[in-house]
Amino acid sequence: MPLTSARSELRSILLDKSVKTGDFTLASGAKSNLYVDCRVTTFDSRGAVLVGQLMHDLVRREQAARGIQVDAIGGLTLGADPISLSTAMTSSLADDMPPIRCFVVRKEAKGHGRGKRIEGNFQAGDSVVVVDDVITTGDSTLKAIAAVEEEGGKVALVCVLVDREEGGKANIEGKGYPVAVLFKRSELVSV
């Protein structure tokens, strides 16, 4: 499917399933007239295929434009999980050599077993894309970045499905991490 068609279809799914208007309290405690629950879209079979296709394209375009290496993709559980997996699967289906690997950042290290904070296909020295489903302030994304760096990874890029355009992108970029976005709030709603 051409990328313009995939983008249009994903936008429609996001609008139908994920974008809600009303009175909401966000995770930050802030009040908003917009709530974006991307998980309803990223855990949808068709939504996941489109997210994988478009995020894979975004990562590869940014990789070429910036001259960066990308070994793996992941972010803070739960929002980043389906995006990371669908992007890695698309990379494999595209016959990328090597394909992009994926990982998950736990909110805190588990208290048993090997006590890992990062699960999946991540290793120290990897150049990674940190992904998030929605950014408002960018704080959750920055937590994932900190975990990756604490485990010896290098963050080459941050990719986001939806930027609420409330300062998160600037906050992350202000800390030295480039951010690429699939959809901005203004592309989804005019509230």
Question: pTM for the complete prediction?
Answer: 0.94
Cβ proximity of 75 and 130 under 8 Å: yes
Break the chain into its structural domains and give their ranges: 50-188
Mean pLDDT of all residues belonging to the chain = 94
* Cis peptide preceding 99, ω within 30 of 0: no
Exposure of 76 in the CB half-sphere (CA atoms within 13 A): 18
Region for residue 184 given its phi and psi (left: phi exceeds 0; alpha: psi -120 to 50; beta: otherwise): beta
Q: Kindly report which listed range (24-38, 58-72, 119-133, 142-156) carries the lowest average pLDDT score.
A: 24-38
Encoded tokens for 173: 């970029």
- Binned at pLDDT 50, 70 and 90, residue 111 comes out as low
Closest CA to 33 of 129, 164, 163, 161: 164
Strands 118-120, 19-25: pairing kind = unpaired
Neighbours of 179 (CB within 10 A): 21
CATH topology of domain 50-188: Rossmann fold (3.40.50)
**Tens digits of residue pLDDT in 16-58:** 999 998 899 887 778 888 999 999 999 999 999 999 999 999 9
Q: Report the pLDDT value the prediction gives residue 109, as an integer from 0 to 100.
A: 73
* pLDDT at site 1: 74
Alpha carbons 105 and 49: distance in angstroms, whole number: 22
- What does the pLDDT look like over 50-89, one tens digit per residue? 999 999 999 999 999 999 999 999 999 999 999 999 999 9
DSSP 10: H
Task: Evaluate if residue 171 carries a pLDDT over 70.
Answer: yes
Provide mean pLDDT across the span 99-105.
98
Confidence at 110, pLDDT banded by 50, 70, 90: low
Query: Would you give the DSSP letter of residue 133?
Result: E
Q: What is the pLDDT of residue 190?
A: 75
Contact criterion met (CB below 8 Å) for 118 and 151:
yes
What share of the chain in percent tops pLDDT 70?
96
d(CA 55, CA 90): 9
Contact 126, 72 (CB under 8 A): yes
Band of the pLDDT at 113, cuts 50, 70, 90?
A: low
- Calpha distance 53→20 (Å, rounded): 24
